[in-house]
Amino acid sequence: MDDHFDLIVIGSGPAGESGAFEASRLGKSVALIDRRFELGGNCCHTGTLPSKTLRESSLAWSHAIDSAFLPKVEAREHPITMKDFTWRADEVMQRESARMRNFMERFRIAVFQGDATFVDDHSVQVDGGAGTPARRLHGDHILIAVGSRPVRPANVPFDGRRIFDSDELLALENLPKSLIVIGAGVVGSEYATIFSNLGIPVQLVDAKDAHLPFIDQEIVAYLHREVVKRPLTLHFGTAISGINATEAGAEVTLANGTVLRAEAALYALGRGSNADRLAIDQAGIIADKRATITVDEHYRTNVAHIAAAGDVIGFPALAATSWDQGRAAVRAQFGQAGTLAQKLLPYGIYTIPEISTIGMNEAEAAKAGFAPVVGRCEMGNTARGIISGDQGLLKLVIDRTSRALLGAHCLGARATDIIHIAMMCIRLKGTVDDLTEAVFNYPTVSDAIKVAALDATWQMEALAKSGAA
């Protein structure tokens, strides 16, 4: 007889973890399938956690060499190695995977290791590989949360050493002495700044004219001001006509004839859904040519008892949003309240310095019919910024009429933490006055929120006195 569960979750990344937990909390029987023995999905093993840990390693190393607290710090006797750079990431991945396995045991979630494929719209077969008999699981409901993988075009000569994708990066034996990063999206931008922060010359290439076009462009311009202080060269607005591995490393030819050379090249032009590995057509699920699954506002696919969440449904494909989507999807499957997709989502990009944003920018606010006023704070001018030597910019978008906070955009140390203050203010329909009247610890990074709010307030007072419309 087939094993029967109220819910089958395929994939143990953030969406799968939160979905499995929520179903268990609701008293449902749950099976979790993952192709790895180590749980956590791409978020834990190749994406979010390792890349952010590498970022912290890069920051720790650069701070040891170039400290704001000492007039001069001698360089280490030996250069940083790949082992120096990745050991902490390995430890973080192991600890997170162990935490998840303990979590599954605690909440009595049955875990199956192997490749999952649909047999029909209620049945999934799990193939554990050689020597392990296949198992067929039956679920009243199913959540697809298998994440994504780097796009690997056939005309790119990947070898895992000179030319590699972001999943292969952690397996490098040596740190490249120079690097070309192809693709200036979130992944490419993060790794370009991480490696250049180590003093490694990096060339960042993208065919688009605008860098990170979904981010406030004043914030992006400030990022460029900071990254050019390091050995990072930007090449935007020029397509790539060729990528080749050479004896010396990698060679990238641009459409304008420019030839870029480095010891290695990271190809980071997009990611594709892993749903194409599941035989989803056997369940009647519809997806596009990149296996991205279309869902409704409750994360239901065209097959109502099958939901999908996380990278498999496309943008924004962030760990935080995936976790929220998985929980909401399962609550909807079991008829619980609070299942609508979140409209107000924070975005975090872990470049050096990091970027975080939520809500509207001034152009979007004006288009929506508001009268926006923008309060700004230069992070380097705050007491904490002066102490730490960190630079950055915080922008608050305020509606002049209602004084409501509409959006916040930040670049700088702890930007991804600071943004949560703005997020809660917007969620609770707060105003600029709620921020100016709050007392913040001093000196802190987050008191930049109050400085920016005061700046907006003073602007509105000046406009009122001048009689400006």
For position 452, which CATH number holds?
A: 3.30.390.30
| Backbone Cα Rg of the chain | 24
> Per-residue confidence at 78, pLDDT binned at 50, 70, 90?
very low
| Domain annotation covers residue 344 | no
Question: 369 with 239, same domain?
Answer: no
> Per-residue confidence at 123, pLDDT binned at 50, 70, 90?
very high
pLDDT at 467: 79
Residues sharing a CB contact under 8 Å with residue 258, sequence separation 6 or more, in sequence order: 235, 238
What distance in Å separates the CA atoms of residue 174 and residue 13, rounded to the nearest whole number? 28
What distance in Å separates the CA atoms of residue 311 and residue 42, rounded to the nearest whole number? 10
Q: What is the mean pLDDT of residues 378-395?
A: 92
| Domain annotation covers residue 338 | no
The CB density around residue 288, as the number of other CB atoms within 10 Å, is 10
Question: 49 with 121, same domain?
Answer: yes
| Domain annotation covers residue 400 | yes
Question: 77 with 195, same domain?
Answer: no
Question: 30 with 11, same domain?
Answer: yes
Residue where a domain terminates, one of 269, 301, 316: 269
| Domain annotation covers residue 322 | yes
Q: What is the mean pLDDT of residues 254-274?
A: 95
Question: 234 with 306, same domain?
Answer: no
- Output the average pLDDT for the chain: 90
| Domain annotation covers residue 309 | yes
Per the structure, how many domains does the chain have? 3
What distance in Å separates the CA atoms of residue 332 and residue 2, rounded to the nearest whole number? 25
Question: 230 with 176, same domain?
Answer: yes
> Per-residue confidence at 92, pLDDT binned at 50, 70, 90?
confident
**Strands 202-206 and 232-236, sheet pairing:** parallel
pLDDT (tens digit, 9 = 90+) per residue, 138-159?
999 999 999 999 999 999 999 9
What distance in Å separates the CA atoms of residue 127 and residue 132, rounded to the nearest whole number? 7
User: 440 is written with which tokens?
Assistant: 């913040």
> Per-residue confidence at 70, pLDDT binned at 50, 70, 90?
very low
Secondary structure (3-state) at 23: helix
What distance in Å separates the CA atoms of residue 337 and residue 353, rounded to the nearest whole number? 39
Secondary structure (3-state) at 359: strand
Question: 7 with 120, same domain?
Answer: yes
> Per-residue confidence at 67, pLDDT binned at 50, 70, 90?
very low
pLDDT at 21: 95
| Domain annotation covers residue 14 | yes
Ranges assigned E (strand) in 246-392: 250-254, 259-262, 264-267, 271-273, 306-308, 347-349, 355-359, 372-378
What distance in Å separates the CA atoms of residue 150 and residue 164, rounded to the nearest whole number? 10
Question: What is the extent of the structural domain holding 236?
Answer: 163-269
Decide if pLDDT at 120 tops 50.
Answer: yes
| Domain annotation covers residue 379 | yes
Question: 239 with 382, same domain?
Answer: no
Question: 146 with 246, same domain?
Answer: no
| Domain annotation covers residue 346 | no
What distance in Å separates the CA atoms of residue 410 and residue 419, rounded to the nearest whole number? 7
Question: 96 with 193, same domain?
Answer: no
Question: 37 with 105, same domain?
Answer: yes
Question: 42 with 74, same domain?
Answer: yes
Task: Say which CATH number the domain at 261 has.
Answer: 3.50.50.60
Share of the chain above pLDDT 90, in %: 74
